[in-house]
């Protein structure tokens, strides 16, 4: 009789009351407190998946008459003082009668802080994928319930409703159930679909992956769906780069070259597969334990990843194939994880403002703040948002890759040897610089080039149009092949044996990129009718922001003139948002709402864009009165 009770058969029901939530539930005798909590929707930490190893599912039960006695694991993991005080492990305590359970704060899931890459946001850990362990009664001549209905009934007892199952999994179900001796772990997606049925040890874990497909870079986080912990982070260049650095070249290749779309799709999927393999190797887990993958990317990257033609994104009226989120089986895309795993692609907004932008907004939380915020995700294509909980407007600006160090004579990515910080002495124009990893300089990365332009302007070496003042007498300023250049590092200091210089042409590249972003900000601020003094926060997302000196960003006029303490660098919020959707069904729902709610402004069609763009081509801006901080500094320097 005891064995049958452990199997969860109906030999009596008991009421379990969870405090402090005050949730009551009636369950079969034989279930554990952890099972009962899951049915009741009460979150209890269970880092080891209920195997009695981690000791994280701690609960306090004052009156234990309705519970099994402490198991060997509880005796091993809990001190005798704790056992005496009523502490138990929820996964080890079997319900045998009515019981009231108190969940101490450290065991509650809803209050766990999940680090969203540079930002800390609170959200309930409630992934779309979860595992449920069930022990089924064996069929007999007296009980000929078919296999699926047997499983379905057991899940129904756990409070689940109508459940679907894939055809090929149904084909394998009889073998799996019998080989597992009717003791199985069921992996559910959104509590509506059985995606896997496995031998019921729960030992192998339940994992997910979040992927950010950037125009230049791919980032993947491997995540434990039970604890929310990130187990491995992997990055790689987007291999599509060989078909063009910018979105338009990729779209053209996909649209007009025979087999172009399929080739680009295959490239990105192969790259994601190799990131998955590396991450799994590092974390020591098997690929087929990844049951969900969430994906973000701008609209063009999103379309190519899904094999949708991006052709119409590049021609007016710039219409996407789909705005809402897309769920597709991993095997349909060739993603090498568990074959029936779901791939959830976050929704888009419009134009090139895609799923990555929705993730940015989700991760920064600007949508729930009363305060007005500006959010800029700087990349090959930059997205800008202005708004608060009432209304958010967005746009996309083709800033070009200058801020990633590309298209500049000595430009490079932010890797070892890149000059990332520059200071110029206004008296003798001597240069101080810092390189990544302190290595000998090889070139200048994005943050370095912003510093360079800001310092050249601050020291009066260039005018407001970015032209060198040739009358200045310094050996660092020279003419080479008809181009005027300023030497940032002399050849005997560099790893290349060549002088590292910044030319007028480089400065123009930076001005074009900054003007595109600044004009986008100006148009959106007008749309939202806000002035500089209304801005409470300015978030700069993207890896470029990590090393950027905010003062330099202000000096070149990349951002509006607001106090520097209102500026935050928030890192890769696109991957943070993708991860939030992997770990929380609620965040997924909010992402859907944001994609409908955020207004999109098509800059090319906006009457003010050209004018704002031309104004922003000046340092810091044609309208100097909008940059009082910078002007005060410059006039002070002139006066000294």
Sorted by sequence, the CB contacts under 8 Å of residue 401 that are 6+ apart come out as 216, 245, 246, 380, 407
Structure tokens at 159: 């409070």
Q: Could you give the string, one character per residue 563-602, with x where binding to ligand FES holds by CB under 6 A and - elsewhere?
A: ----------------------------------------
- The minimum distance between CB 56 and ligand FES, in angstroms, equals 5
Name which of 109 and 341 has its Cβ closer to ligand FES. Answer: 109
231 CB contacts (<8 Å, ≥6 apart)? 207, 222, 223, 224, 279, 282, 283, 285
Residue 59 or 516: which CB sits closer to ligand FES? Answer: 59
Q: Which of 27, 33, 54, 461 binds ligand FES (CB under 6 A)?
A: 54
Site string for ligand FES, 416-445 (x = CB under 6 A): ------------------------------
Q: How far is CA 308 from CA 238, 243, 343, 544, in A?
A: 18, 17, 15, 29
Out of 57, 290, 424, 553, the residue judged to bind ligand FES by CB under 6 A: 57
Smallest separation (angstroms) from ligand FES to the CB of 199: 19
Window of 54-62, 131-139, 274-282, 603-611 that interacts with ligand FES by CB under 6 A = 54-62
Judged by beta carbon, residue 52 or residue 297, the one nearer ligand FES is 52
Nearer to ligand FES, 53 or 248 (CB): 53
Q: State the binding string over 24-53 for ligand FES (x if CB under 6 A, else -).
A: ----------------------xxx-x-xx
Read off the DSSP letter of residue 404: G
* Identity of the residue, 91 or 553, whose beta carbon is nearer to ligand FES in the bound complex: 91
In angstroms, what CA-CA distances link 252 with 213, 248, 356, 382? 18, 6, 21, 20
State the pairing for strand pair 23-28/58-60: unpaired
Dist CA 373 CA 431 (whole Å): 35
Closer of 227 and 373 to ligand FES (Cβ): 227
What is the residue whose two structure tokens read 């791939």? 343
Kindly list the distances between the CA atom of residue 458 and the CA atoms of 97, 103, 381, 429, 451, in Å, as whole numbers in the listed order: 77, 59, 28, 11, 10
Query: Residue 206, interface with ligand FES (CB under 6 A)?
Result: no
Residue 49 CB, shortest distance to ligand FES, in Å, is 7
Phi–psi pair at 399, nearest 5 degrees: -70, -15
Q: Are strands 477-480 and 483-489 parallel, antiparallel or unpaired?
A: antiparallel
Contact set for ligand FES, span 73-132 (CB under 6 A): 89, 91
| Helical ranges in 415-503 per DSSP H | 446-458
How far apart, in whole angstroms, are the C-alpha atoms of residue 484 and residue 468?
A: 7
Give least dist CB 441 to ligand FES, A: 51
DSSP character string of 255-311: HHSTTHHHHHHHHHHHHHHHHHHHHHHHHT--GGGEEEEEEEE-HHHHHHHHT---G
- Minimum CB separation from ligand FES for residue 104, in Å? 14
Q: Is 158 helix (H, G, I), strand (E, B) or coil?
A: coil
What three-state secondary structure class fits 587?
helix
Q: Given the complex with ligand FES, which of 48 and 570 has the nearer CB atom?
A: 48
Output the smallest distance, CB 61 to ligand FES, in A: 14
Least gap, CB of 287 to ligand FES (angstroms) = 24
Query: Least separation, in Å, of the C-beta of 67 and ligand FES?
Result: 14
- The span from the CA of 142 to the CA of 401, in Å, is 71
Please, which residue, 45 or 621, has the CB nearer to ligand FES? 45
Q: Based on CB atoms, which residue is closest to ligand FES, 201 or 635?
A: 201
Cβ 70 to ligand FES shortest distance, Å: 12
For residue 107, the minimal CB distance to ligand FES (Å) is 9
> Cβ 25 to ligand FES, closest distance in Å?
19
> Can you point out the beta strands (E) in 190-248?
193-199, 207-213, 217-224, 230-237
Q: Closest by alpha carbon to 273, among 236, 310, 303?
A: 236
Question: What is the total count of residues that contact ligand FES (CB under 6 A)?
Answer: 12
Q: What's the closest the beta carbon of residue 50 comes to ligand FES, in angstroms?
A: 5
- Looking at the Cβ atoms of 55 and 214, the one nearer to ligand FES is 55
Question: Looking at beta carbons only, is 46 or 435 nearer to ligand FES?
Answer: 46
Q: Residues 8, 30, 55, 347: which binds ligand FES (CB under 6 A)?
A: 55
For residue 560, count other CB atoms closer than 10 A to its CB: 21
**Backbone torsions φ then ψ of 129, nearest 5 degrees:** -105, 130
Q: Which of 56, 221, 287, 336 binds ligand FES (CB under 6 A)?
A: 56
Identity of the residue, 48 or 135, whose beta carbon is nearer to ligand FES in the bound complex: 48
CB atoms within 10 A of CB 626: 17
Give the interface with ligand FES as residue ranges (CB under 6 A): 46-48, 50, 52-57, 89, 91
């Amino acid at each position: 009789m005891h064995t049958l009770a452990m199997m969860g058969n109906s030999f009596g029901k008991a009421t379990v009351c969870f405090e402090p939530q005050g949730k009551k539930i009636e369950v079969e005798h034989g279930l554990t407190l952890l099972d009962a909590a899951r049915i009741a929707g009460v979150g209890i930490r269970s880092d080891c998946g209920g195997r009695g190893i981690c000791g994280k599912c701690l609960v306090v039960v004052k009156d234990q008459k309705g519970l099994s006695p402490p198991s060997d694991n509880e005796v091993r993991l809990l001190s005798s003082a704790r056992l005496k005080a009523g502490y138990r492990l929820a996964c080890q305590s079997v319900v045998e009668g009515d019981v009231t359970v108190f969940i101490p704060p450290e065991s509650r899931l809803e209050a766990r802080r999940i680090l969203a890459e540079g930002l800390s946001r609170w959200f309930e850990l409630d992934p779309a994928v979860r595992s449920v362990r069930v022990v089924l009664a064996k069929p007999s001549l007296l009980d000929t319930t078919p296999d699926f209905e047997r499983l379905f009934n057991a899940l129904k007892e756990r409070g689940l409703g109508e459940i679907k199952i894939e055809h090929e999994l149904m084909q394998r179900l009889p073998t799996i159930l019998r080989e597992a001796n009717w003791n199985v772990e069921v992996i559910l997606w959104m509590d509506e679909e059985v995606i896997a049925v496995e031998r019921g040890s729960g030992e192998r874990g339940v994992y997910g992956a979040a992927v950010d497909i950037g125009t230049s870079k791919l980032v993947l986080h491997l995540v434990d769906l039970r604890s929310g912990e990130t187990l491995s982070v992997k990055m790689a260049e987007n291999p599509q780069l060989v078909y063009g650095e910018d979105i338009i070249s990729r779209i053209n290749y996909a649209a007009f070259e025979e087999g172009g779309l399929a080739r680009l799709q295959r490239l990105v999927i192969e790259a994601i597969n190799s990131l998955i393999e590396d991450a799994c190797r590092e974390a020591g887990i098997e690929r087929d334990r990844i049951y969900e993958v969430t994906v973000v990317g701008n609209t063009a990257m999103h379309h190519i990843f899904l094999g949708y033609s991006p052709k119409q994104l590049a021609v007016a009226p710039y219409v996407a194939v789909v705005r809402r989120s897309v769920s597709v089986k991993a095997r349909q895309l060739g993603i090498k994880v568990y074959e029936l795993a779901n791939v959830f692609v976050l929704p888009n907004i419009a134009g090139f403002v895609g799923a990555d932008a929705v993730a940015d907004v989700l991760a920064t939380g600007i949508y729930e703040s009363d305060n007005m915020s500006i959010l800029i995700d700087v990349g090959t294509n930059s997205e800008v948002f202005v708004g608060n909980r009432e209304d958010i407007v967005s746009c996309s600006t083709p800033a070009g890759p200058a801020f990633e160090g590309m298209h500049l004579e000595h430009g490079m990515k932010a890797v070892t040897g890149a000059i990332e910080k520059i200071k110029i002495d206004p008296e003798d124009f001597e240069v101080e610089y810092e390189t990544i990893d302190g290595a000998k300089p090889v070139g200048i990365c994005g943050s370095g080039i912003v510093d360079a332009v800001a310092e050249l302007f601050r020291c009066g070496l260039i005018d407001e149009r970015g032209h060198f003042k040739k009358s200045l007498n310094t050996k660092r300023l020279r003419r080479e092949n008809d181009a005027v250049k300023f030497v940032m590092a002399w050849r005997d200091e560099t790893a290349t044996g060549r002088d590292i210089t910044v030319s007028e042409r480089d400065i123009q590249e930076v001005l074009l990129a900054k003007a595109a972003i600044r004009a986008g900000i100006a148009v959106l601020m007008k749309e939202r009718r806000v002035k500089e003094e209304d801005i409470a926060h300015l978030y700069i997302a993207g890896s470029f922001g990590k090393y950027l000196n905010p003062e330099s960003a202000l000096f070149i006029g990349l951002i509006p003139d607001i106090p520097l303490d209102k500026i935050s660098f928030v890192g890769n919020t696109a991957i943070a948002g993708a991860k939030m959707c992997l770990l929380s069904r609620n965040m997924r729902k909010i992402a859907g709402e944001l994609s409908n709610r955020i207004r999109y402004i098509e800059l090319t069609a906006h009457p003010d864009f050209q004018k704002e763009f031309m104004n922003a081509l000046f340092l810091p801006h044609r309208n100097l009165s909008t940059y009082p901080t910078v002007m005060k500094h410059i006039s002070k320097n002139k006066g000294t």
